Amino acid sequence: MWFKNLCLFRLTEPFTLDADELTRKLEALQFRPCGAHETMSFGWTTPLCTAEDVLVHVANGFMMVCVKKQERVLPAAVVNEMLQEKTAEEEEQQGRKLSKKERARLKDELIFDLLPKAFTFSKKIYAYIDPAGGWLVVDVASSKAAEDLLTLLRKAIGSLPATPLNTVDNPVAVMTQWLVSQQPPAGLIVEDECELRSPEEEGGIIRCKRHDLALPEIQNHLDSGKEAIKLALNWEDRLSFVVDKTLSIKRLRFLDLVQDQLQDAGIEDEATRFDADFAIMTAELAIFLPRLVEVFGGESGNI
């Protein structure tokens, strides 16, 4: 289980629940499939499919949790087409145009009839809590989805003082300076992808992929005032990723120096491999995340 995205939250108070206590609290909001007339269901499920009764997976003090969201798929185009047919039929029977309120009622009735027959679509979002380091890390690219998980976690345990990562230095200014100087901090290498934006409202955006960012054309954009809002980086030949203006990490890859630890162990059993993946990943990120904070000037405010 290797995370591909990191949406980072700082725990502003110590997280004191152990795995058993956290499990008991999550059980009250455990996932259940959508009912016949429900459009969505959202709840906690097992991170490891081979251990259906385990809601919290623990390795070296890190606790992984998983939330599952199931939605009924009812395309608007289908509903609208059937509504038009139903409306035309009603108007012909009654010999008059239906009011807006009557059309809304017909639509509600139609959706009520269609929902039990609709297909369902499910997705899982994984996260882990690092009590010692004070992190909540969510494997999702969307900040909205991360906030949804955080909201459900707060609902389950009562409260969870956590805030998005905020640094002293502006990430946009820092990344822009790295491109201008071509001198990122020790251990970091600028790779071949960036997104540049003019600072004014509705400003132009330049996206570069598989491109040498040291070339004069990139420098010309920077000289004209464009700023880096996304930048691809390599850390110590161990991690490759794209960091954006909010310090969210996307397209994270654990490189050979990290992956070889698992290959050397020669693990084949699925559950054991899952546990090893999680242990190696969290150990690596426990070193990387403080370094990420450091190169952006440290944290803003007291943790």
Q: Which residues contact 278 (CB under 8 A, 6 or more apart)?
A: 1, 57, 59, 62, 64, 128
267 — pLDDT class (breaks 50, 70, 90): low
What integer is the mean pLDDT of 165-171?
A: 96
Q: Which of 234, 181, 228, 178 is nearest to 207 (CA)?
A: 228
Q: Above 80 in pLDDT, residue 26?
A: yes
Task: Please determine, for residue 118, whether its predicted confidence score (pLDDT) is greater than 90.
Answer: no
User: Is residue 52 pLDDT above 70, yes or no?
Assistant: no
Q: Where are the domains of the chain?
A: 7-72+120-164, 76-116, 171-295
Share of the chain above pLDDT 70, in %: 96
* pLDDT tens digits for range 80-98: 888 888 899 888 888 889 8
- Residue located via tokens 């345990």: 157
Instruction: Name residue 228's beta-bridge partners.
Output: 196
**Per-residue pLDDT tens over the stretch 194-231:** 999 998 877 789 999 999 999 999 999 999 999 999 99
Q: Which two tokens stand for residue 158?
A: 């009562």
> Given this model, what pLDDT does residue 265 score?
62
Q: pTM for the complete prediction?
A: 0.86
**Domain 7-72+120-164 in this protein, CATH class:** alpha beta
pLDDT tens sequence across 151-163: 999 999 998 999 9
pLDDT confidence of residue 48: 85
